């Protein structure tokens, strides 16, 4: 799997220790064995759990904010390439470097589904009703699965290569894929039938997020710009001001007013790059988290707070963005 895939799986930001000033506040430190370095993490939508993909091949699940380690899962003998929660937080999925996907009920952590998509899992999304699963394996078309009966439904093929990101609309009607042929495609979620294509992008999109009303898809990638794509037509309706860094991840607040964007430096993923919180209505930057520590996951809580996670030796830290 390409190193950049690993970076795009989660929420990545690079910050030099001590230089983040007032923008971040440490709220919790979760400990892991030294050999189990956290590669990426996911925050449950309600903020009651944190899951981490660890280098020792285990997924660790903590209750948050108590920090109590609840469970550790594995993907048999595969390395974990990412972890994802369903939008209601009741399911947790982990994908492996050779295509294994396992899904657990949270709580109590009971295995619900197990499938294989044939290649390293790059991106994954649950439909809002949790009946459908979209998975992007590395370099090949994304797949749509029916989780109720545990069956593969169809592929979502680009002209070539695979997909970097997949997302279901909040109303459950649409499934979007950001494809490596630079096209963003919108499918009918229930059937996988192609409904619109956005051919306006010259470079690849790495991150997508639907607006709360399911009418727009926010997209960011190698063009260093966030675009709002009209879902019905596939046309770019508006663009946010271009930055000097590539967009690696996007998270929309519950009320749809704020969009958190994680950037990275295309001249070296380990170079410092910021996180910006955009005001969607005015397309202006509301908060800038200056480069400081390396973080790898996060999201908005129902109360509007934005949390991000970062790993260091033997620990996963959870920060609140002020």
Partner 1 sequence: MAWNRAALTRREILEKCIALGSVSVVSSFPVAAVLDAFGQMEARYRRPTPPNEIGPFYKKRAPETTMLRAPGDPGMPLSVSGQVFNTRGVALSNAVVEVWQTDHLGHYDLDGYRYRAKLPVDHSSAYKFDSVMPGHYPDRVCQHVHYLATAPGHKPLVTQLYFATDPVFEGDPDRNFARDPLIHSRELVRPVMLIGDPKEIQAAVKFELVLELL
d(CA 68, CA 45): 18
Among 19, 31, 270, 284, which residue interacts with partner 1 (rule: CB under 8 A)? Answer: 270
Name residue, tokens 């009703």.
Answer: 129
Q: Which is nearer to partner 1, 182 or 295 (CB)?
A: 182
* Binding map of partner 1 across residues 215-244, x = CB under 8 A, - = no contact: -------xxx--------------------
Is there binding between residue 79 and partner 1 (CB under 8 A)?
Answer: no
Is there binding between residue 139 and partner 1 (CB under 8 A)?
Answer: yes
Among 4, 112, 146, 286, which residue interacts with partner 1 (rule: CB under 8 A)? Answer: 4
Single out the residue of 141, 144, 145, 177 nearest to residue 157, CA to CA: 141
| Angle of CA points 32, 33, 38, to nearest 5° | 50
CB-count exposure of residue 122 (10 Å: 0-12, 13-18, 19+)? buried
DSSP 57: S
**How many residues belong to the site for partner 1 (CB under 8 A)?**
27
Neighbouring C-beta atoms of residue 159, cutoff 10 Å: 9
Q: Which is nearer to partner 1, 50 or 273 (CB)?
A: 273
Among 19, 46, 160, 232, which residue interacts with partner 1 (rule: CB under 8 A)? Answer: 160
Listed ranges 1-9, 13-21, 127-135, 252-260: which one lies at the site for partner 1 (CB under 8 A):
1-9
* Binding map of partner 1 across residues 174-193, x = CB under 8 A, - = no contact: ------xxx-----------
Which H helix or E strand runs over 4?
helix 3-9
282 Cβ contact list (under 8 Å, min separation 6): none
Q: Provide the binding-site residues for partner 1, judged by CB under 8 A.
A: 2-4, 8, 138-139, 159-161, 164, 180-182, 202-204, 206, 222-224, 246, 266-271
């Amino acid at each position: 799997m390409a190193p950049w895939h690993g970076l795009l799986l989660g929420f990545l930001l690079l910050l030099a220790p001590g230089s983040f000033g007032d923008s971040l506040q440490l709220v919790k430190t979760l400990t892991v064995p030294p050999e189990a370095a956290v590669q990426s993490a996911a925050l449950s939508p309600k903020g009651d759990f944190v899951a981490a993909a660890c280098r020792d091949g285990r997924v660790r699940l903590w209750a948050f904010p108590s920090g109590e380690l609840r469970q550790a899962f594995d993907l048999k003998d595969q390395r974990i390439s990412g972890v994802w929660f369903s939008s209601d937080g009741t399911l947790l999925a982990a994908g492996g470097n050779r295509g294994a996907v396992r899904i657990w009920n949270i709580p109590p952590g009971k295995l619900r589904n197990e499938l294989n998509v044939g290649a390293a899992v790059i991106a994954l999304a649950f439909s809002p009703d949790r009946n459908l699963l979209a998975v992007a394996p590395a370099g090949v078309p994304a797949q749509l699965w029916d989780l109720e009966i545990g069956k593969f439904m169809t592929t979502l093929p680009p002209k070539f290569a695979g997909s970097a990101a997949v997302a279901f609309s909040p109303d459950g009607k649409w499934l979007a894929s950001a494809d490596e042929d630079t096209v963003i495609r919108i499918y009918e979620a229930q059937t996988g039938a192609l409904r619109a294509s956005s051919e306006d992008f010259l470079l690849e999109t790495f991150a997508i997020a639907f607006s709360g009303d399911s009418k727009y898809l926010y997209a960011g990638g190698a063009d260093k710009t966030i675009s709002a794509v009209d879902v019905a037509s596939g046309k770019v309706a508006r663009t946010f001001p271009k930055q000097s860094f590539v967009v690696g991840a996007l998270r929309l607040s519950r009320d749809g007013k704020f969009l958190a964007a994680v950037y990275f430096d295309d001249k070296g993923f380990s170079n410092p790059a910021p996180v910006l919180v955009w005001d969607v209505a005015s397309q202006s930057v509301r908060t800038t988290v200056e480069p400081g520590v390396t973080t790898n996951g996060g999201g908005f809580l129902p109360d509007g707070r934005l949390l991000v996670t970062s790993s260091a030796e033997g620990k996963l830290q959870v920060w609140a963005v002020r």
